[in-house]
Chains A and B, each alone.
Chain A
Amino acid sequence: KQEVTQIPAALSVPEGENLVLNCSFTDSAIYNLQWFRQDPGKGLTSLLLIQSSQREQTSGRLNASLDKSSGRSTLYIAASQPGDSATYLCAATDRGSTLGRLYFGRGTQLTVWP
């Protein structure tokens, strides 16, 4: 069974810092990897989706990379802002069954202080 781990579990940084969130997965046979943002009391919002054939995806200040051989993905946030404070989750879509099944990490809780 696919296992997804996110490190660190929590991160607190001052505004303006560039930061990296880590995601690792145990089975490299994936369709894709997605990064989500979750604000307190809210649902998940998809940030970036990297297909298994891709190495990275960018959206604004966010850049996500994927290295299937090492089972790792990173989410890079440039010039962090207080509005970036949220929990960030990654999810790997497994190739193991007929249908894709997402396996979620437990998230990194990010706090950006002014």
Chain B
Amino acid sequence: NAGVTQTPKFQVLKTGQSMTLQCAQDMNHEYMSWYRQDPGMGLRLIHYSVGAGITDQGEVPNGYNVSRSTTEDFPLRLLSAAPSQTSVYFCASSYSRQGIGELFFGEGSRLTVL
């Protein structure tokens, strides 16, 4: 059972570089979301999606873009990486389209921006 799969697990970037964090789920969940986890800050919502073609901003969206072309995939794009984006990123999905059901998380992607 794959669940929520994130790639890559680790990434080092230089300031100004761009990259995409991949997230895929095989549970046919409508709701998908991206969080970042920082020491002393807890988890904060970046972007979320309630279905293919529908995305919206969360609490900390600046510097990130998302798209949802299929139910399975929800990539997170960093357009021009900054040291402040050094963090652990988690993708999560839910069977509830409103995002109010049990949340399933990926293993995380650890990003360092130099």
Contact = CB atoms under 8 A, between A and B. Distances in A.
B98 A104 contact: no
B85 to A, nearest CB: 19
A102 B45 contact: yes
Interface string A30-59: 011010100001111110010000000000
A72 interface: no
A46 B101 CA distance: 11
A104 B100 contact: no
Contacts of B50: 99
A2 to B, nearest CB: 11
Nearest to B91: A43
Nearest to A43: B105
Nearest to A1: B59
A100 B99 contact: yes
Select the residue from B45, B58, B105 with max chain A CB neighbours within 10 A.
Answer: B105
A99 B58 CA distance: 11
Contacts, number: 56
Contact of B104 (A46, A98, A99): A46
Contact of B98 (A42, A91, A100): A100
A99 B102 contact: no
A93 B100 CA distance: 6
Contacts of B48: 99
B98 A43 contact: no
Given A93-B100, A99-B56, 12 more contacts: A31-B100, A36-B105, A43-B4, A44-B92, A46-B102, A46-B103, A91-B103, A100-B96, A101-B99, A102-B99, A104-B42, A106-B42
Interface of A: 31-32, 34, 36, 41-46, 49, 89, 91, 93, 98-102, 104-107
28 contacts: A31-B100, A32-B100, A34-B102, A43-B106, A43-B108, A44-B92, A45-B105, A46-B102, A46-B104, A89-B42, A89-B43, A91-B43, A93-B99, A99-B48, A99-B98, A99-B99, A99-B100, A100-B96, A100-B98, A100-B99, A101-B45, A101-B58, A102-B43, A102-B45, A102-B103, A104-B42, A105-B42, A106-B42
